[in-house]
């Protein structure tokens, strides 16, 4: 929508400049298969055509800039999504490591209890009941 409004404003402003320099009702006469312009109208139309070409280039440049801006926003959004996904994955991994650490503590405690009972059983067997 911004592109359309910008293009419309530029296109509408160019003929007003030509109309200010030339009276088209008197400055153009029809001749055999064409038109004859007065010097002022010829210069005004030439300048309007040149301004039109310049405005077309400016519109093209503005459209490219808008496309690049949209691309930059899209890439920034993708980077933010990737960062968020990485953060969630790392958080899950840290939670898994915490659970495994807690499980390992219980396993080591259980192995310690089994070792104490095994040492007691071995000592009792060695001294003979």
Task: Pick the more confident residue, 64 or 2.
Answer: 64
The tokens describing 82, both together, are: 């990737």
Nearest to 41 by CA among 31, 51, 27: 27
CB 22 within 8 A of CB 44: yes
The count of structural domains within the chain is 1
Q: Report how far Cα 59 is from the mean position of its chain's Cα atoms.
A: 21
Q: Which structural domain, as residue segments, surrounds residue 71?
A: 2-127
Residue-wise DSSP of 13-54: HHHHHHHHH--HHHHEEEETTEEEE-HHHHHHHHHHHHHHHH
pLDDT tens digit sequence for 75-119: 999 999 999 999 999 999 999 999 999 999 999 999 999 999 999
pLDDT tens digit sequence for 18-70: 445 676 677 777 788 887 877 777 777 778 888 888 889 999 999 999 999 99
């Amino acid at each position: 929508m911004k592109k359309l409004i910008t293009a419309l404003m530029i296109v509408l402003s160019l003929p007003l400049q030509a109309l200010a320099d030339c009276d088209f009702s008197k400055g153009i006469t029809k001749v055999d298969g064409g038109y004859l312009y007065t010097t002022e109208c010829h210069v005004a139309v030439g300048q309007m055509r040149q301004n039109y070409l310049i405005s077309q280039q400016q519109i093209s440049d503005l459209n490219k800039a808008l496309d690049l801006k949209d691309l930059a926003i899209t890439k920034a959004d993708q980077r933010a999504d990737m960062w968020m996904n990485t953060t969630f994955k790392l958080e899950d991994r840290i939670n898994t490591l915490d659970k495994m650490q807690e499980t390992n503590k219980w396993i080591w405690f259980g192995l310690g209890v089994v070792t104490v009972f095994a040492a007691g059983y071995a000592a009792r067997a060695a001294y003979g009941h």
